[in-house]
Amino acid sequence: MNYKSLIKISLLIFIITSLNACAFVPKTVKATSHETMSCGMVTSAWELDVVAVGGLGANCYNEACIVVFGAVPIITAVISLPIVLIGNSIHYAEKQLRCD
């Protein structure tokens, strides 16, 4: 397989996966446990939510637009994952200090 055909296949796969792009968004979870609510905790648990961005649309035919829609899931995951990890670490530490 030569270099040009590999690029074409990679671009085709990238376009197909980019058509229905999604974004990852951190969100807080409501405290439901009576134990957690009675401790008077200030922090909340976090989870990663997936939000549909939508298709490319009628005006998106150039390479830059395709790259942007392909990069949205990666960029939002890179930004959102540390927020969720740090938020849950702080929440867990507070739970250990206040509730135990």
pLDDT at 55: 58
22-70 pLDDT per residue, tens: 788 999 988 776 666 678 888 888 999 988 776 545 456 667 766 666 7
In the chain, what percentage of residues exceed pLDDT 90?
Answer: 19
Does 93 have pLDDT greater than 80? yes
In this structure, the number of other CB atoms found within 10 A of the CB of residue 50 comes to: 12
Number of H helices, E strands in the chain: 3, 2
Q: Which residues contact 47 (CB under 8 A, 6 or more apart)?
A: 26, 27, 29, 84
E strands, 1-100, where? Answer: 21-29, 45-54
Phi (first) and psi of residue 65, to 5 degrees: -65, -40
Number of domains in the chain: 1
Q: Specify the pTM.
A: 0.65
Which range marks the domain in which residue 66 is found? 3-99
pLDDT at 43: 86
